[in-house]
Amino acid sequence: MPDEVLDCRGQRCPLPVIAAARRMPEVPVGTVVRVLADDPAAAVDIPAWCRMRGQEFVAAITGPDGPAYDIRRAH
């Protein structure tokens, strides 16, 4: 389970990625943040952001709140 949820539904890319980039440095290392994002570009761009920033992309899931992406703060 994620430690916290960032609701970016209704936002178009790159806004969900920006929201994640703002939040991740504020949480303790090891924290898993779930980004809810229904913009189809998020499926590509959130994993790509994790790769570029050296953060851990845990998984893409589709739950009751629609598509979601779990990121663990790695450093």
Partner 1 sequence: MSASPVYLDAATAAPMHPVARQALLAALDDGWADPGKLYTQARRARQLLDAAREAVAQTLGVRADELSFTPSGTTAAHGAVLGGLAGRRRVGSTLVHSAIEHSAVLHAAERHVAAGGDAHPVPVDRLGRLDLTAWSDAVRGPGVALAALITASHEVGTVQPVAEAAAACADAGVPLYVDAAQSVGRVPLPAGWSVLTASAHKWGGPPGVGLLAVRKGTRWESPWPADEREGGRTPGSVNLPAVVAAAASLRAAAADAAAEETRLAPLVDRIRARVAAEVPDVEVVGDPVLRLPHLVTFSCLYVDGEALLHALDRRGFAVSSGSSCTSSTLRPSHVLEAMGVLSHGNVRVSLHRETTEADVERFLAELPGIVAGLRAEAGVVGL
Q: Which of 4, 12, 66, 74 binds partner 1 (CB under 8 A)?
A: 12
Q: Is the dihedral of CA 13, 19, 20, 22 positive or negative?
A: positive
Region binding partner 1 by CB under 8 A among candidate stretches 1-9, 29-37, 48-56, 66-74: 48-56
Is 50 annotated as catalytic?
no
Query: What is the closest distance, in whole angstroms, from the C-beta atom of residue 10 to partner 1 in the complex?
Result: 13
Closer CB to partner 1, residue 32 or residue 53? 53
Q: Are 32 and 58 in contact (CB under 8 A)?
A: yes
| CB neighbour list of residue 58: distance below 8 Å, 6 or more residues apart | 32, 70, 71, 72
Which residues are the active-site residues? 13
